[in-house]
Structure 1
């Protein structure tokens, strides 16, 4: 239900702390040679039960479920919403859980609007705007806006998408029907104006993961393998052991972040060979290839032959080479973009590794360090004593930087392409030429899933890290014995 106010403003965006005011761009008609002109309309809206049928399942991660708009309201065309989830075996988040904890307020005290947010949803939105956007660049981030929703809307959506969600996701989590707003943002898998015209758009979502090897002196001797083997490769061993994946991926994040054309191409080819949940491809907003949310049975939505047929309408290649040409297009685009350099810089805010940061975490929460208590050797205590003697401000900075880095390690890069006509001179998008098919494509790139990581996850990050290294070293030992 949309109620429009007769107000026009010249600013690019406006967000009311309550989430009840939404700024939506609209494009005035292009005719008789007039140039494209954008204005911004302030609109008041709420999504209610009758609106639920217009939103279709797009995918989900550990914390949020994503729905794409399939209706006809101009304000929502080319948009998606992200809805918060809660564990199925736990209670929904009530108001007491929607604000930051006392220690989280200490972390983000330099960003006053975050810690004074009335809900966690708005705090997360402001985190993207105030923390991640300055680090990664406003050209590659769309923070979105909060839109109020009714409980009936959320309950209806929960029922509507149940059969489309991966079974293991359904068992683990459900929509949080106690929230009063959702995040509305651009659907980066389509070009909104292209959707209206019926133009084809092919998009790829890449989850780069950690692009560097740690060198912290706080890494225990028995975990020294972390300094030589990527976290991604080691985690693959654990996922295979836990039957979360059926095949090991050859993807190496170091290749993707290398700045070498050949190594970037190698990385993209490896992602296409074993996409898991690290690569997904959308045709006009619909998933056609890649992971649908993890699990051994969801590593590929369609097989390679079917994908070849899907993209024939997009890539003008010879028979059997459409996929190869698209992989080349993606790799060349990633190589030419400068966004991965920025992402790597943010990832490297984690400069002492979780094995160091966990000690700063216990400093911040003013509790005895569980990790130190588990060490039996005096030399281990000496290794970390320096961390427990630093100031509170230093500890806060270490934990804050680690959590920002965790966001950068877990986000995705969405790149969308559409064929460009030679006579189209008005487009504001960048373009790239694919020599093998003699085609020029417009493209746009955005980071997505820039979530605010809860401070309490520090303990989980440490435990998972130890589990990953232990599983990988045991696998190496078994292979050696064979």
Structure 2
């Protein structure tokens, strides 16, 4: 990360969006990207500006009406749609040019944009219940904030009866995909396996965090006071960064089992990811599966250290919330694709039903709430078009959460918190920390993308078979 100017920081980007942090307001702006070159933009600017706004509004509705009820208001803050002045996107695009990774420069911020999505800067501690506008609570002047962003990916092995390829029952999708992508994108494959992170066993979760630190790729980023200090592209001395954050006591306390700053940090991350939430509404379609997460991926480098270690997945913790929604995909793409074809054939005969079912949005009312109610599935005949519609929607919702990110922010406290009802963590040295957790990157996945999911699945399996991936 680097400063664009005194106010803006380049925070990162994906294939579709570019993110900048406003250091004054402690907000984050997400801008739409495009392949269209600036000189070709001007004629259609007004049309594209309306299209961008329409698409962003659908994202806002989806996060608010679908993701927030499923994942809870504790973790999900819907973005706001904010107008931006003409020329603003173009100005920022030129300013961030030097900060961007080379492989992302095939697309630029769309100069036609007259709006952007705005969220709190979750790199700072915030209070979810107090946010009526997207503004993070500023940290105390004398205390720094450290944050870690994790893209956890799919946390389970599918057991769908529709799966034809044995490797998918033994090796998780991330590990297969990582091995394939690693050959062309990274110097070495990721050593991280999502099944370890979602295992509920402390030693496995610690192993997963260590693996992310060793091979961050696109799955981990650490910021201090909102500025990136550790990622795949910027690797400062993490030990020194954390020692600066924790303070001198971390190296001098004689009663701390000689844990170094990285170990203390990992312990805090593991604690935060397993913090129980007292009030939550479970997904009705099988969240209990996530409470017995004893699956193992053959590609994981984790070796069992304690067979007696108890499973610990507190109800409503952020990992369980994510996993329970991921489990809405219980058919796998191999089981979903025939239902997709059934829907497409139905829409050819009854095109008005595609709009009636809100397959492409809007994400309001009851049209998408059906995904969380198991009664809708149980009452539907498997040959019924309504069954196909619900299962496809569940699959798409699960794909969103399989691609989400978690941001944990930590701020050290000078003393034990007075209000014990507010969440806080304590490290092995007896120091207290206030913290916040957020789930981001919750965009809707297009109905028409399902054939692409199948194409990628087939290509991934084919490549892994050529690489002689283990299946037993």
Settle same-fold status: TM greater than 0.5: yes
* Partner in structure 2 of residue 215 of structure 1: 159
In structure 1, C-alpha distance between the alignment counterparts of 2:222 and 2:118, rounded to whole Å: 21
CA pair 99-352 structure 1, distance change in 2 beyond 3 A: farther
Contact 2:60 2:79 in 1 (8 A): yes
Contact 1:255 1:266 in 2 (8 A): yes
* Partner in structure 1 of residue 26 of structure 2: 78
1:362 to 330, 341, 363: 341
* Partner in structure 2 of residue 278 of structure 1: 219
* Partner in structure 2 of residue 336 of structure 1: 275
Contact 2:48 2:112 in 1 (8 A): no
Gaps of 5+ in 1: 1-50, 72-76, 101-116, 292-297, 370-388
* Partner in structure 2 of residue 444 of structure 1: 436
In structure 1, C-alpha distance between the alignment counterparts of 2:393 and 2:243, rounded to whole Å: 46
1:183 to 117, 134, 156: 117
1:153-232 alignment, distance < 5 Å? 153-171=88-106, 173-191=107-125, 192-195=136-139, 197-220=141-164, 223-232=165-174
Deviation at 1:82, TM superposition (A): 0.9
CA pair 98-367 structure 1, distance change in 2 beyond 3 A: farther
What is the DSSP-based 3-state SS (H/G/I as helix, E as strand, rest coil) of the residue aligned with 1:314? helix
What is the DSSP-based 3-state SS (H/G/I as helix, E as strand, rest coil) of the residue aligned with 2:251? coil
Contact 1:429 1:444 in 2 (8 A): no
1:317-356 alignment, distance < 5 Å? 317-318=250-251, 321-337=260-276, 338-356=317-335
Contact 1:260 1:335 in 2 (8 A): no
Higher relative contact order (CA 8 A, sep 6+): 2
* Partner in structure 2 of residue 409 of structure 1: 402
1:312 to 243, 255, 259: 243
Determine which structure has the larger strand proportion and give its number.
1
In structure 2, C-alpha distance between the alignment counterparts of 1:118 and 1:273, rounded to whole Å: 39
Deviation at 1:169, TM superposition (A): 0.3
**1:433 maps onto 2:426 in alignment:** yes
Gaps of 5+ in 2: 126-135, 253-258, 277-316, 349-381
What is the DSSP-based 3-state SS (H/G/I as helix, E as strand, rest coil) of the residue aligned with 2:162? coil
CA pair 239-445 structure 1, distance change in 2 beyond 3 A: same
CA RMSD of aligned residues (A): 2.9
Write the deviation string for residues 63-95 of structure 1: whole angstroms up to 9, x where unpaired. Answer: 211110123xxxxx2211111112357977977
TM-score by length of 1: 0.72
Write the deviation string for residues 148-186 of structure 1: whole angstroms up to 9, x where unpaired. Answer: 012300110111111111111012x11122232111110
In structure 1, C-alpha distance between the alignment counterparts of 2:261 and 2:79, rounded to whole Å: 34
CA pair 199-426 structure 1, distance change in 2 beyond 3 A: same
CA pair 84-118 structure 1, distance change in 2 beyond 3 A: closer
